[in-house]
Amino acid sequence: MTTLPTAHSVRTTPEGFQWEPSDRWVRGVKDEVTVVDSRHPVLVWEPGLPVPQYAFPRGEVRQDLLRPAAHPPTGAHAGSRVFYDLAVGGEPLRNAAWTYPGRELAGHIAFAWFQRTGPGLDHWYEEDEEIFVHPRDPHKRVDALPSSRHVVVEIDGTVAAETRRPVLLFETGLPTRFYIPREDVRLDLLDPTDHSSRCPYKGVAEYWSWRGDADVPGNIVWSYPDPLPAVAAVRGLLAFYNEAVDITVDGERRRRPVTLFTWALFDRTEAGRH
């Protein structure tokens, strides 16, 4: 039996880009000006990059705000593309938009996202919900499940948290995160920081650092005070980076995973961030 491709099958271009049409209504805003208003976006996965980017038909983009880039970038990811500066308000935003090479994605324009690829559009929306950093990958899953597992978190031999009512967050490609009620966390051993981060699947996070003398990175504890609806179960709970602490689950000590966060955490520590 032959399986025919659906309208939303992922396609691969001769240049190595993967792309897929999306039914989502997507808007991009810069300085309160709607630059993109698209009901026909496509998701594009660039070679070597783990998360997708949106590209939009030219007719759904404010092309009157685009100017040929005065100083287009060079390098592997810039090859065979046309870059544009975005003129909204004051100084033009350099290289804020670009085209992809090849016939299949011709007629589409992609944009930089604030806090991902440098200066870019300030706000993005899928339907009526704001999203952050990059588009959500339709092939990635995030589940937040209440549990009765016994979870103990230790930092340099000191128990920093212990609970039998965690919420386990399972996210494709990342280690399981254990979200713990505040009442079960030694908050007296933590200091709040002014650091924050954004996640397209979970929302905006706030952070804490360890107060002790142990050689651990800063901002190793985080919480989502107002998470996105899909992960509402983690609201106000605290999670520790598995990469930097010792976590025991039901009596079994978990190995510290090595992830894309490992380098970032310890590199910032060596640079004297905290």
242: which DSSP letter? T
> How far is Cα of residue 238 from the mean position of the Cα atoms in its chain?
18
Average pLDDT, the chain: 88
The percent of residues above 90 in pLDDT, for the chain, comes to: 60
Residue range 242-256: mean pLDDT, rounded: 95
| Predicted pLDDT of residue 49 | 79
| Predicted pLDDT of residue 79 | 62
pLDDT in tens, 8-50: 588 898 888 999 999 999 999 998 999 999 999 999 998 887 8
Can you give the residue ranges of every domain in the chain? 11-131, 142-270
Q: Does the pLDDT of residue 1 top 80, yes or no?
A: no
pTM value? 0.76
| Predicted pLDDT of residue 27 | 96
Residue range 104-127: mean pLDDT, rounded: 81
Residue range 131-143: mean pLDDT, rounded: 89
Determine which of 59-68, 109-118, 199-208, 234-243 has the lowest per-residue pLDDT on average. 109-118
Which comes out higher in pLDDT, residue 34 or 274? Answer: 34
- Are the CB atoms for 7 and 15 separated by under 8 Å? no
How far, in Å, CA of 43 to CA of 206, rounded?
29
How far, in Å, CA of 220 to CA of 203, rounded?
17
Burial (0-12, 13-18, 19+ Cβ within 10 Å), 189: middle
Tokens of 274: 């905290």
Backbone dihedral region for residue 182 (phi beyond 0: left; psi -120 to 50: alpha; all else: beta):
alpha
How far, in Å, CA of 71 to CA of 88, rounded?
17
- Are the CB atoms for 189 and 176 separated by under 8 Å? no
Residue range 105-109: mean pLDDT, rounded: 93
Candidate CATH numbers 3.40.50.620, 2.40.10.10, 3.40.50.1400, 2.170.150.40; the one for domain 11-131: 2.170.150.40
Same fold, 11-131 and 142-270: yes
How far, in Å, CA of 266 to CA of 274, rounded?
11
CATH class of 142-270: mainly beta
| Predicted pLDDT of residue 75 | 67
| Predicted pLDDT of residue 271 | 36
| Predicted pLDDT of residue 270 | 40
